[in-house]
Amino acid sequence: MTSSLMNVYARAPIAFDRGEGAWLYPVDGGEPYLDCVAGVATNALGHCHPVLVAALEAQAAKLWHISNMFEMPGQSALAERLTTASFADTVFFTNSGTEAVECAIKVARRYHAARGEPQRQTVIGFSGAFHGRTYGAMNAAGNPAHLDGFGDRLPGFVHFAVDNWPALALAIADPATAAVVVEPVQGEGGARAMTETFLDKLRAACTAHGVLLIYDEVQTGMGRTGKLFAHQWYPNATPDIMALAKALGSGFPVGACLATAEAASGMVPGVHGTTAGGNPLAMAVAIAAFDEIAKPETLTHAREVAQHLRAGLDRLAATHPGVIAEIRGKGLLVGVRLVPNNRAFMAAAREQRLLVAGGGDNCVRLLPPLTLTVAEADQILDRLDTACHAMTNVQVAA
C-alpha cells in the first residue's frame, strides 16, 4: 500500500477516514480510537471542529491563494491578534514549523549584520532539541540521527546540554554569537520542561551580551501547556523571536515567526519571502483557530483537564512502577517515560484503541486536543492502565 511513497516514516498500520473531537474512526470500521496524538500536537481543537470547518468552507468558496505580491488582510488580522497577545511587534507567515525556525535564524543573523556586526553568526542550541527537518533547523537542533548522511554540518551552530551552564555562559559571551534557540518544553525530545531558573538565567545572559533569544514554540504554543504561549509561565524570560506552527492552523498547514521590532530591524523588502506562506485559506482557518484557542475558557479548560490527567497519571505511575518510570511535561504536553520499550508500549496502547505519540528518552507523549473532556481524560487513564497491565504480563511471561 505504501510502495510508491518515500520510505521515511515508520507508520502504524491503521488508516482513518473520519475524525470528531478526540476520536478517530478507522477505515475498516469498528470502534473509534481515542486520539492523544492530535496530529502531533496540531489539532488543538480536535478533529473537524465546527468553527474551523465553517471558516474553511466559507474561505474555500471565495479566495485561496494570491501570493505575497499583494496586500493580505487576513495576514494583518492574524498578525494583529498574535502581537496583541504576545511580546512581539511583527510577524512573518510560513507553511510549516521548520520554515518558521529558518525565518527566526535569518532574522537573528540579519539583525546583527544590519547593526554592523556580521561576524555574529553562531546559533546556540541544546541536546534533545528538535526544530524541524530543513538544513538550518536540523543543524540548530544538532541531533546526529537527523544530520548523519546529509553532508557536512553547517558552520555557525553549536550545542550544549541544558545543565552545562558554565560552557553555555561562555558561548553566550562569545562575540561571534548571534542567538540562542530553545524550546521552553522540549517536545520531540520527550516533554522535558525547562526550569524557570534556567530560562531566567538564559534571558539575562542573552540581554547582557546582545544575543537574541529565540523560543521554538512550534509544539508548545497556541494553548498546549495551558497558556497561549508556554513561555508565559516564565514571566521574566520573554524571547526576542518566536517560532509557531502546529496548532496555529489546528490542522491546516501554517506557521509564523514573531519578533520584536528591534529584533526584526534587519528584515527589509527582498531579504526573505515565501510563495504560499500565509495565503488567504490558511489565514481564514488560523484566525478562527486563534479566536477559539485564545478564549480564556479554552485555556482554563486545558489547564483543568491537564491537572486531572496529571493526577491520574501520577497514580498510574505509582501503581505500575515496572512500566512507568516518570511523568513529566507541562499542561497537555505530557511525557510518560517508560521502563519497557516505548514503541512496544505504543502498540499496547493501540490495542486499547488509544493513540499516543513517541518521544525521545524512551517516552510516549500524550498530546490530546485542548477540548478533551474530563470523562475522556478518565478513558485515557483506564486504557493506559490496561496497557500497563498488558506490558507487565508480557514482562512476567518473558
Ligand X SMILES: *Cc1c(COP(=O)(O)O)cnc(C)c1O
The residues that touch ligand X, with contacts defined as CB under 6 A, are 96-98, 101, 130-132, 183, 187-188, 216, 218-219, 245-246
**CA 127 vs CA 130, 191, 256, 284, 337: distances in Å:** 9, 13, 24, 36, 17
* 219 vs 238, beta carbon nearer ligand X: 219
Question: Active-site residue 216, yes or no?
Answer: yes
Q: Closest separation between CB of residue 248 and ligand X, Å?
A: 10
Q: Distance between CA 313 and CA 324 in Å, rounded?
A: 9
* 40 vs 113, beta carbon nearer ligand X: 40
* 19 vs 187, beta carbon nearer ligand X: 187
Output the CA angle 193-196-199, nearest 5 degrees. Answer: 90
Q: Phi-psi category of 358—alpha, beta or left, where left has phi over 0 and alpha has psi -120 to 50?
A: beta
Question: Active-site residue 198, yes or no?
Answer: no
* 231 vs 383, beta carbon nearer ligand X: 231
Q: Distance between CA 172 and CA 209 in Å, rounded?
A: 7
Q: Closest separation between CB of residue 214 and ligand X, Å?
A: 11
Nearest-CB residue to ligand X?
97
β 157-160/363-366 pair status:
unpaired
* 243 vs 324, beta carbon nearer ligand X: 243
Q: Closest separation between CB of residue 82 and ligand X, Å?
A: 17
How many Å is the Cα radius of gyration of the chain? Answer: 21
The secondary element (H helix, E strand) that includes residue 355 is strand 354-359
Those residues whose C-beta lies under 8 Å from the C-beta of residue 257, and which sit 6 or more positions away, are 91, 92, 94, 100, 101, 103, 104, 107, 241, 242, 243, 244
Q: Closest separation between CB of residue 162 and ligand X, Å?
A: 15
Torsion from C-alpha of 164, 170, 172, 174, nearest 10 degrees: -150
Q: Select from 86, 111, 132 the least CA-distant residue to 206.
A: 111
Marked catalytic residue, from 126, 246, 252, 290: 246
Q: Distance between CA 173 and CA 358 in Å, rounded?
A: 36
Q: Closest separation between CB of residue 100 and ligand X, Å?
A: 7
Q: Distance between CA 354 and CA 366 in Å, rounded?
A: 10
Q: Closest separation between CB of residue 358 and ligand X, Å?
A: 13
Residue 54's SS3 state is helix
Those residues whose C-beta lies under 8 Å from the C-beta of residue 38, and which sit 6 or more positions away, are 22, 44, 46, 367, 368, 369
Q: Closest separation between CB of residue 393 and ligand X, Å?
A: 34
* 188 vs 376, beta carbon nearer ligand X: 188
Marked catalytic residue, from 130, 160, 252, 290: 130
Angle between helices 374-397 and 342-351 (to 10 degrees): 120
Marked catalytic residue, from 106, 216, 227, 229: 216
Q: Closest separation between CB of residue 3 and ligand X, Å?
A: 24
* 199 vs 391, beta carbon nearer ligand X: 199
Q: Backbone phi, then psi, for 197, in 5-degree steps?
A: -60, -45
Bridge partner list, 324: 338
Q: Distance between CA 131 and CA 139 in Å, rounded?
A: 9
Question: Active-site residue 227, yes or no?
Answer: no
Residue 37's SS3 state is coil
* 41 vs 88, beta carbon nearer ligand X: 41
**CA 32 vs CA 27, 40, 134, 309, 350: distances in Å:** 10, 18, 35, 21, 11
Active site residues: 130, 216, 246
